[in-house]
Amino acid sequence: SYYFDRDDIALKNFAKYFLHQSHEEREHAEKLMKLQNQRGGRIFLQDVRKPDRDEWGSGLEALECALQLEKNVNQSLLDL
């Protein structure tokens, strides 16, 4: 999110979108952990890796990467 908020990038709507998505995904993770605790499960947290790149050529590239990440998360949830 903050990458797109930089003065040399200045894609404010992309910054708002990715910040909103970040908050939403965090809420999902918190709900899942709460549900696990309620059901007597155990939570084993792992490191969260940063993206492989630090710069995005365009907003489209960032959206494509975000879509692929979302697909990976969905597949991981299906594999549980």
Surface-to-core class of residue 42, CB atoms within 10 Å of its CB (0-12 exposed, 13-18 middle, 19+ buried): exposed
Q: Do the annotations mark residue 70 as ligand-binding?
A: yes
Q: Do the annotations mark residue 55 as ligand-binding?
A: no
Q: Do the annotations mark residue 25 as ligand-binding?
A: yes
Q: For residues 6 and 14, give the distance between their C-alpha atoms in angstroms, rounded to a whole number.
A: 11
Joined tokens for residue 2: 């903050």
Residues contributing to the annotated binding site: 25, 28, 70
Residues contributing to the annotated binding site for Fe cation: 25, 28, 70
